[in-house]
Amino acid sequence: MTSATGIPDKPALEGLEAAWGPVWEREGTHRFDRAAALEAGKASVFSVDTPPPTASGSLHIGHVFSYTHMDLAARFQRMRGRHLFYPMGWDDNGLPTERRVQNYYGVRCDPTLPYVPGYVPPLEGGENASSKAADQVPISRRNFIELCEKLTAEDEKQFEALWRDLGLSVDWSLTYRTIGHEAQLAAQRAFLRNLARGEAYQADAPTLWDVTFRTAVAQAELEDKDQPAAYHRVSFHRPDGGTVDIETTRPELLPACVALVAHPDDERYQALFGTTVTTPLFGVEVPVLAHHLAQKDKGSGIAMVCTFGDVTDVVWWRELDLPTRAIIGKDGRILEDAPAADLFSEAGRAAYGELIGKTVFSAKAKVVELLKESGELVGDPKPITHPVKFYEKGDKPLEIVSTRQWYIANGARDAALRDRLLEAGNQIGFHPDFMRVRYDNWVGGLTGDWLISRQRFFGVPLPIWYPLDADGEVLREQPIVPGEHQLPVDPASTPAPGYDESQRGLPNGFVGELDIMDTWATSSLTPQIAGGWETDPELFDLVFPYSLRSQGQDIIRTWLFSTVLRAELEHHSIPWTNAGISGFIVDPDRKKMSKSKGNVVTPAAMLEEHGSDAVRYWAASSRLGTDAAFDPQNPKQMKIGRRLAIKVLNAAKFVYSFPEPPSGAVITAPLDLDMLAELDAVVGIATAAYEEYDHARALEATEQFFWTFCDDYLELVKERAYAGDGSATRSLREAIDVLLRLLAPVLPFATEEVWRWTHDGSIHLAPWPEVRGAGATLGLLPAVSEALIGIRRAKTDAKASQKTEVLSATLSGPAFLAGAADDLKAVGRIAQLTLVEATEIAVTDIVLAEAPVE
């Protein structure tokens, strides 16, 4: 224990972070006391499922905002006597890390290369390194992963330092990494159990594909972006020599065309249904079919179906049982061998030859050129802007490629599961409540199961092998799984159970699955990872379901949903009883603040400039779910918080400067009793607000009272306090003790500094103030304050100093004002005060002395 320290002459906010952070660490202030929690029982635990920030990204103001909200709830509960289980994770697995490593070290992964021990990358800290793939040195998968681990470890150190500076009351002994051993174990175990129950399965199907990262992506990771495009009117040829014109934005997919589709009711095309037409340039015969999804008013009303231009093509392809003639490879370039090549006309083969190896973009230009030459392009392309699906982290449109992938059932194709998930959502307390709608909408709108496999390198491997038959064919439908005791396992470097490594890739041998799991497949298990699921049952029982999930609203469809899903599948339980959803930060123009704008102030610089308490105050003054405007050029809210924190230091110093109340001092003065009764009411409001995760309301009520306490009460009792009046000095100390604790969640540094002047031990482990039921107040403090304002106004109007003596004045108001008449006389420097009973409070007949009394 750090013993009580002296009260400094000039208390300051500077240096409090550096002073108290290490003390909290040394004293274990934020440590989860498992033994005590076990003793007190599960109900005594408050467990927090913390969002693991993406380690390779940078923390921004939005993180500070939402992590502070979480910390406010945690600190409140800790002071309420709950045992806090408050871990922190780092999401260091996945694509953002890979991308950052590529740029930082100037390398890229090529799994076919051998491992080079002691490899030294071409760049170190090359933030401005070229991101052009051509300039990046190919290295082995193992070398690549080593670099990933190295870089994320560095990032995580910086993140932890920032969070400590911000004063997050995380138990830093409870950290995890989503690429770490525990996370891999939990992710693989959960997957194997999904597989055993039939919830995980593999399927060969058209998949949304990012050509830059060369991986499949899931529905939850999609983002629409408006893109320029053009309608190209193109003529197909009827057997009778006539033409059918279609409009397409993707003429380069003509060689992948498998049909034309129009609406069954469309009279213009009814005669064509059941006939065939031939494609322009390539001369492939394709059927004209009817389908209700075709829209009469779009383009020419008849659409070309290609494998695959968009998700509607996939629907048509599936429902009309069309052939697959894909021409786009996983690298986004036109394949060398077109599946329909033998159907092409002579000219078509020549045309296709000119497309091979081209990107979609250049292939399009080439096809348009050829169509113009052949006269099959009608008119000029009409430029449009339309939404196109992108991977949220990518910058090229997604293609649809047919691949074999792993999925987890998410209710999209299973009404019973979907209902269970909706019911789970109902059981969770969303804060604010309307955020549940976003969850419901997402669950209700799912169009397919969750695609969890990724064709990447840095992530948790799918723990699967496949046998090879005597001909060396991979038997995909007979996956080999490890026992749970073998986990975590990397099938790329460990042989399948029952096989020797020498049999890898050989007939009658085995191959390891190379795909890894999507990062959400791991982070959907954060409660299980942090809580020791299956590895520490005692702990898991204590903390699961968690008390609180805290997160941003932008990841309801990903993290929140997937966590509910995994908990439902594995435990038939909700993962947490409450979900606190923070809004996001908008810039002064009401636009979502984006990193690209360049006006981003780093959190570290902000904490440095304003102080952590000030930044926390800013976050705390916004309610959950509400977007907060933030102008980095003019951070007013920070200044207000800073002012409050400084005021706390000074007011407390002032209070403690009065003589200590004599032992046995009793609070008798009406004004003192009334002030404490008001404070009691504030405790009630703040407590109820925090219990509802309404930290902003708690802060507002507390802050409002605190300023009244300083500006009015403190002024009114000054004279009595100087004189050593026990009622006043005791009241002041009791009040400041309560106020400090009410403010402790928001201003952990300033309140701790002050608390330790007179207490051993941390304020953050002090009990939250109790409502004492002090009863209704007379309203004496506000009434006297009003009278005081009258006196002050008279002096201000007279342009006189507040020190000016009042020779005489008349105070009218309720009779109870008499109880504070002496206090009013003292602070107002009133020589003679006459009391007149009235319902309205007013100070009249004020006669000021000529000059201030020195």
Among 722, 759, 782, 849, which residue interacts with RNA (rule: CB under 7 A)?
722
User: Please, which residue, 473 or 631, has the CB nearer to RNA?
Assistant: 631
Draw the binding track, 784-823, toward RNA (x: CB under 7 A; -: no contact): ----xx--xx-xxx-xxxxx--------------------
- Residue 421 CA to residue 556 CA, distance in Å, equals 14
Give the closest residue to 184 by CA, choosing from 547, 550, 487. Answer: 487
User: 761 in helix, strand or coil?
Assistant: coil
Among 657, 668, 832, 834, which residue interacts with RNA (rule: CB under 7 A)?
657
Q: Tell the residue number behind the tokens 């006539």, with chain if given.
A: 242
- Residue 185 CA to residue 196 CA, distance in Å, equals 16
Give the closest residue to 319 by CA, choosing from 236, 237, 258. Answer: 258
Draw the binding track, 402-441, toward RNA (x: CB under 7 A; -: no contact): --------------------------------x--xx--x
User: 811 in helix, strand or coil?
Assistant: strand
User: Please, which residue, 96 or 301, has the CB nearer to RNA?
Assistant: 301
Question: Nearest approach, Cβ of 564 to RNA (angstroms)?
Answer: 16
User: Please, which residue, 157 or 643, has the CB nearer to RNA?
Assistant: 643
CB 597 within 8 A of CB 639: no
User: Please, which residue, 14 or 127, has the CB nearer to RNA?
Assistant: 14
User: 231 in helix, strand or coil?
Assistant: strand
Token readout for 254 is: 């003509």
User: Please, which residue, 539 or 606, has the CB nearer to RNA?
Assistant: 606
Token readout for 405 is: 């992938």
Question: Nearest approach, Cβ of 387 to RNA (angstroms)?
Answer: 4
Token readout for 749 is: 């540094």
Site for RNA in 26-55 (CB under 7 A): none
User: Please, which residue, 531 or 583, has the CB nearer to RNA?
Assistant: 583
User: Please, which residue, 107 or 717, has the CB nearer to RNA?
Assistant: 717
CB 451 within 8 A of CB 207: yes
Phi, psi at 445, each rounded to 5°: -100, 5
User: Please, which residue, 674 or 715, has the CB nearer to RNA?
Assistant: 715
Question: Nearest approach, Cβ of 29 to RNA (angstroms)?
Answer: 26
Distance of CA 304 to the CA centre of its chain: 41
Per residue, what are the HEC states of 322-385? CCCCCCECCCCEECCCCCCHHHCCHHHHHHHHHHCCCEHHHHHHHHHHHHHHHCCEEEEEEEEE
Applying CB under 7 A, what is the total number of residues that bind RNA? 88
Give the closest residue to 794 by CA, choosing from 777, 815, 778, 811. Answer: 811
User: Please, which residue, 228 or 498, has the CB nearer to RNA?
Assistant: 228
Question: Nearest approach, Cβ of 655 to RNA (angstroms)?
Answer: 8
Query: Prior bond to 545 cis, omega within 30?
Result: yes
Question: Nearest approach, Cβ of 641 to RNA (angstroms)?
Answer: 10
- Residue 252 CA to residue 250 CA, distance in Å, equals 5
**Per CB under 7 A, 388 contacts RNA:** yes
Q: Which stretch binds RNA (CB under 7 A): 25-33, 310-318, 561-569, 771-779?
A: 310-318
Question: Nearest approach, Cβ of 328 to RNA (angstroms)?
Answer: 15
CB 460 within 8 A of CB 179: yes
Site for RNA in 698-717 (CB under 7 A): 700, 704, 707, 710-711, 714-715
CB 666 within 8 A of CB 703: no
Among 13, 166, 328, 409, which residue interacts with RNA (rule: CB under 7 A)?
13
Give the closest residue to 412 by CA, choosing from 509, 296, 557, 271. Answer: 557
Q: Which stretch binds RNA (CB under 7 A): 518-526, 536-544, 595-603, 633-641?
A: 633-641
User: Please, which residue, 200 or 305, has the CB nearer to RNA?
Assistant: 305
CB 578 within 8 A of CB 693: yes
**374-394 residues labelled b (16+ CB within 10 A) or e (exposed):** eebbeeebeeeeeebbbbeeb
Among 12, 350, 818, 838, which residue interacts with RNA (rule: CB under 7 A)?
12
Site for RNA in 225-284 (CB under 7 A): 229, 231, 246-250, 261-262
Among 627, 692, 805, 822, which residue interacts with RNA (rule: CB under 7 A)?
627
Give the closest residue to 676 by CA, choosing from 758, 755, 777, 767. Answer: 777
Amino acid at 199: E
Site for RNA in 549-608 (CB under 7 A): 553-554, 557, 586, 588, 590-592
Q: Tell the residue number behind the tokens 């020599």, with chain if given.
A: 241
**Per CB under 7 A, 651 contacts RNA:** yes
- Residue 510 CA to residue 528 CA, distance in Å, equals 32
User: Please, which residue, 16 or 170, has the CB nearer to RNA?
Assistant: 16
The dihedral sign for the CA sequence 694, 697, 700, 705: negative
Site for RNA in 312-371 (CB under 7 A): 312
Q: Which stretch binds RNA (CB under 7 A): 458-466, 574-582, 629-637, 763-771?
A: 629-637
Question: Nearest approach, Cβ of 31 to RNA (angstroms)?
Answer: 32
Site for RNA in 724-753 (CB under 7 A): none
**Per CB under 7 A, 298 contacts RNA:** yes
User: Please, which residue, 535 or 758, has the CB nearer to RNA?
Assistant: 758
User: Please, which residue, 356 or 378, has the CB nearer to RNA?
Assistant: 378
Measured between its terminal Cα atoms, the distance across the chain in Å is 47
Distance of CA 129 to the CA centre of its chain: 29
User: Please, which residue, 247 or 672, has the CB nearer to RNA?
Assistant: 247
**Per CB under 7 A, 389 contacts RNA:** yes
Element holding 517 (H helix, E strand): strand 516-517
Token readout for 450 is: 């969750």
User: Please, which residue, 224 or 760, has the CB nearer to RNA?
Assistant: 224
Question: Nearest approach, Cβ of 441 to RNA (angstroms)?
Answer: 6
Question: Nearest approach, Cβ of 203 to RNA (angstroms)?
Answer: 19
Burial classification of residue 671, based on how many CB atoms lie within 10 Å of its CB (0-12 exposed, 13-18 middle, 19 or more buried): buried
Question: Nearest approach, Cβ of 795 to RNA (angstroms)?
Answer: 7
Question: Nearest approach, Cβ of 231 to RNA (angstroms)?
Answer: 5
Site for RNA in 115-174 (CB under 7 A): none
Give the closest residue to 327 by CA, choosing from 260, 230, 399. Answer: 399
User: Please, which residue, 324 or 441, has the CB nearer to RNA?
Assistant: 441
Sequential DSSP letters for 561-589: HHHHHHHHHHHSS-SEEEEEEE--EE-TT
**Per CB under 7 A, 294 contacts RNA:** yes
User: Please, which residue, 13 or 521, has the CB nearer to RNA?
Assistant: 13
Q: Which stretch binds RNA (CB under 7 A): 9-17, 48-56, 205-213, 416-424?
A: 9-17
**Per CB under 7 A, 295 contacts RNA:** yes
Question: Nearest approach, Cβ of 450 to RNA (angstroms)?
Answer: 13
User: 201 in helix, strand or coil?
Assistant: strand
Question: Nearest approach, Cβ of 512 to RNA (angstroms)?
Answer: 34
**Strand runs (DSSP E) across 534-688, as ranges?**
546-552, 576-582, 585-586, 628-629
